[in-house]
Amino acid sequence: MAHISLVLPFALPAPEFAPDLARALDAPALAALLSRTSASRRTPLAPSARSLPHEHWIAGALGLDRNEEPAVAAAAMRGFGLDPENGFWFVVNPGHIQIANTHLMMGDMRQLDIREDEGRALFDSALESFRELGHELAYGNADTWFMRADGWSELHTASPDAATGMNLTDWMPTGPTARAFRKLQNEVQVGWYTHPVNAAREKRGQLPVNSIWPWGGASRATEEANRLVASAGRRGPVSRPTLVTHAVPGWLDALSGHGAASLDVLAASVDDPDAGYLLLVAGDAASPAIAADWEGWLRAMQAFEQKLFAPLLAGLGHGRIKRLTLVLSHRDGHLELDTTPMAQRKFWRRPSLEALT
């Protein structure tokens, strides 16, 4: 195994809680990985960014960033077996927007738990509105759809996770076609207001699915341009990693084609001697961190310790892994550090979780 990158969204706790959480976390393997390193970098998220640090990092690693926005739609479509043809496409996620005291706010889409039959019914209901306004709509799965909007390439959008829990006034799509999007969004909202799917969901105590969120705009042409820019910047062909995912949004599973049913399955991919450059993404800590459920966050991190950190540390010790890159993030930035078998021999560096704070 040459190189593994492990990306853990929201594995950095919110700074105000970090010292207490680091003391409560029993993770000796993580402490060794964080302390005995060959390189370490902290990168704050740019104030103008409209996606999260781990989303930027993954898009960059896969050559799918465009104007500092993850341009993932076309690649994710192919992951669902769809053809992006020659158009400009957006990921469209059905979601729930609620009215807070003074503003609109979008809830965590993971918590909606949209069933496949519900997703199909809502998709079919929205399809007419899209067509009437001149847009093609394609179905990926219950919570991941794709819209063709060839004239909307200058629409600047935010990822759903970046907008979750925030004042949507600051995160709504902007640009010359923003008004056209709001018209489409309103048409879909009206159609779903009394939809039987939402009536049944509310009866079961679930939140209604009452809006759509577009983002990740891309086309085949933008993908090729991104690859050329990345190759030029690195003075040679870009080596794309094999992506394996667990507990992540549908668009990211689609990019991998290797969604793992459990952390055990994710960890097993590490033992493949022919994998080459492997990019692992595990999203178990995201939902509890977004909800400020720090007990849940600790449980997720303890699972990482047993299922990921300890096996990776052992792999370094046995020389099966030549280089491990850890990418841990929160809303406002990420920590990226490298460790190697040689770095793990730095016995004078006391293992510590201080890097989490």
- What is the number of other CB atoms lying within 10 angstroms of the CB of residue 235? 6
pLDDT at 270: 78
The residues with which 192 forms a beta bridge, in sequence order, are: none
**Mean pLDDT in residue range 264-273:** 79
Note whether 184 and 155 are within 8 A (CB): no
Note whether 244 and 266 are within 8 A (CB): yes
For a pLDDT cut of 70, what percent of the chain falls above it? 95
| Residue 230 banded pLDDT, cuts 50, 70, 90 | low
DSSP 308: I
> Tokens standing for 274?
């022919």
pLDDT in tens, 299-318: 999 999 999 999 999 999 99
Burial (CB count <10 Å: 0-12, 13-18, 19+), residue 353: buried
Burial of 206-224, coded b for 16+ CB within 10 Å and e otherwise, reads: bbbbbbbbbbbbbbbebbe
* pLDDT at 272 exceeding the cut of 80: no
pLDDT in tens, 131-144: 999 999 999 999 99
CATH 3.40.720.10 boundaries in the chain: 3-62+240-356
| Residue 235 banded pLDDT, cuts 50, 70, 90 | very low
**Mean pLDDT in residue range 248-265:** 89
> Tokens standing for 242?
């094999």
- Residue 302: what residue type? Q
Pairwise CA distance, residues 133 & 138, whole Å: 15
Pairwise CA distance, residues 336 & 103, whole Å: 35
* pLDDT at 263 exceeding the cut of 80: yes
Closest to 130 (Cα-Cα) out of 115, 149, 117: 149
Q: 333: helix, coil or strand? A: strand
Q: In the chain, what is the straight-line distance between the N-terminal and C-terminal CA atoms, in Å?
A: 31
> Tokens standing for 240?
């794309």
pLDDT in tens, 59-76: 999 999 887 789 999 999
Rg of the chain in Å (alpha carbons): 21
pLDDT at 100: 79
pLDDT at 267: 80
Question: Within the chain, how many helices (H) and strands (E) appear?
Answer: 14, 14
pLDDT at 81: 96
What is the average pLDDT value for the chain, to the nearest integer?
93
Domain 3-62+240-356: homologous superfamily in CATH: Alkaline Phosphatase, subunit A (3.40.720.10)
pLDDT in tens, 163-178: 999 999 999 999 999 9
* pLDDT at 252 exceeding the cut of 70: yes
Note whether 7 and 54 are within 8 A (CB): yes
| Residue 236 banded pLDDT, cuts 50, 70, 90 | very low
* pLDDT at 324 exceeding the cut of 70: yes
DSSP 240: P
178: left (phi over 0), alpha (psi -120 to 50) or beta: alpha
> Tokens standing for 193?
């207001």
| Residue 99 banded pLDDT, cuts 50, 70, 90 | confident
- What is the number of other CB atoms lying within 10 angstroms of the CB of residue 60? 14
